[in-house]
Structures are given as structure tokens and as C-alpha cells.
């Protein structure tokens, strides 16, 4: 169902934006390589405690954006040649 989907804007380092269609229940995050920009999905999310803390402060309709940055295996190999 279309109305169940929301568009999640991912602000990336260096001012780029990644737009992802995210359905509730299919929430996920990305790991992004700083060197080549490769993006891979990470399964699941363990931020429920963070949102619970926000809820305790009286906030509702919570959402969050989290991106993980690093060096991918390919770029790691290149940097050691
Ligand atoms: Zn890379
Ligand atoms: Zn999450």
C-alpha cells in the first residue's frame, strides 16, 4: 500500500543526499564507504532504546536517521598496496 510508505531523506557527508523509500517494518540503515561512496544496507536497527528515551520525554511520531561511515574492504586493500 502506497500510503504506508514514507520517503526518508538521508543527509550524507559532503552535502550529498540519499533518498530512500522506507516502509514501516522494513527499516534499515546504510554503511557508506568514505573512499568510493559504496553503500550497503545494514539489516535491522538497534536504536529502539534511543527512541524510547525520546518517548519518555513526551515526544511522539519518532523517526531517526543514522548512517555508518567507514572504509570498505576494496578500498582497504587499495590503501595497503
Ligand atoms: Zn570503498
Ligand atoms: Zn533505525
4-30 tens-digit pLDDT: 455 556 555 555 555 554 555 567 888
Assess contact for 31 and 39: CB atoms under 8 A.
yes
Strands 29-33 and 67-70: parallel
**From ligand 1's centre to the CA of 72, what distance in Å?**
4
Q: What is the pTM of this model?
A: 0.57
For residue 70, what are the domain limits? 2-79
Assess contact for 42 and 32: CB atoms under 8 A.
no
- Total number of domains in the chain: 1
Q: How many CA atoms lie within 13 A of 80 on its CB side?
A: 7
pLDDT at 16: 54
Q: Pick the closest to residue 62 from 50, 71, 72 (CA basis).
A: 50
pLDDT at 15: 57
Q: Is 41 helix (H, G, I), strand (E, B) or coil?
A: strand
Domain harbouring 13, CATH code:
3.30.1490.190
**38-68, pLDDT tens digit by residue?**
999 888 787 788 889 999 999 998 888 888 9
Ligand number nearest to the C-alpha of 26? 2
Ligand number nearest to the C-alpha of 28? 2
Amino acid at each position: 500500500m502506497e500510503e504506508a510508505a514514507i520517503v526518508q531523506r538521508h543527509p550524507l557527508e559532503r552535502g550529498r543526499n540519499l533518498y530512500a523509500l522506507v516502509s514501516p517494518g522494513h527499516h534499515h540503515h546504510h554503511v557508506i564507504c568514505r573512499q568510493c561512496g559504496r553503500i550497503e544496507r545494514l539489516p535491522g536497527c538497534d536504536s529502539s532504546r534511543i527512541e524510547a528515551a525520546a518517548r519518555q520525554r513526551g515526544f511522539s511520531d519518532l523517526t531517526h536517521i543514522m548512517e555508518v561511515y567507514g572504509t570498505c574492504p576494496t578500498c582497504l586493500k587499495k590503501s595497503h598496496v
